[in-house]
Amino acid sequence: PPPAGLPGDPDPEEAVSDDSSRHGGRVRGFPHERGNWATHVYLPYIAQEEFLELLELLVSRARTYVPSLAAMEEFHLSLSQCVVLRYHWIEPFVRSLRERLAAFHRFFCVADQVKVYTNQNKTRTFIGLEISAGHFQLLELVSEVDGVLEEFDLPTFYKDPSFHISLAWCVGDLSGRLEGQCLRELQDIVDGFEESAFLLRIQWEQIRCKSGNKYFSFPLR
Residues belonging to the active site: 76, 164
- State the Cα torsion 99-101-106-111 to the nearest 10°: -160
- Identify which of 100, 95, 115, 94 has the alpha carbon closest to the alpha carbon of residue 179: 115
Burial group, residue 11, by CB count within 10 angstroms (0-12, 13-18, 19+): middle
**How far is residue 104 from each of residues 17, 116, 209, measured CA to CA in Å?**
39, 30, 16
Burial of 213 (0-12, 13-18, 19+ CB in 10 A): exposed
119: phi then psi, degrees, rounded to nearest 5: -75, 175
Whole-Å CA distances, 218 to 101, 113, 154, 221: 7, 27, 20, 9
Beta strands in the chain (DSSP E): 36-45, 70-71, 75-78, 83-86, 107-118, 124-133, 164-171, 201-204, 206-211, 214-219
Nearest by Cα to 131 from 80, 89, 77: 77
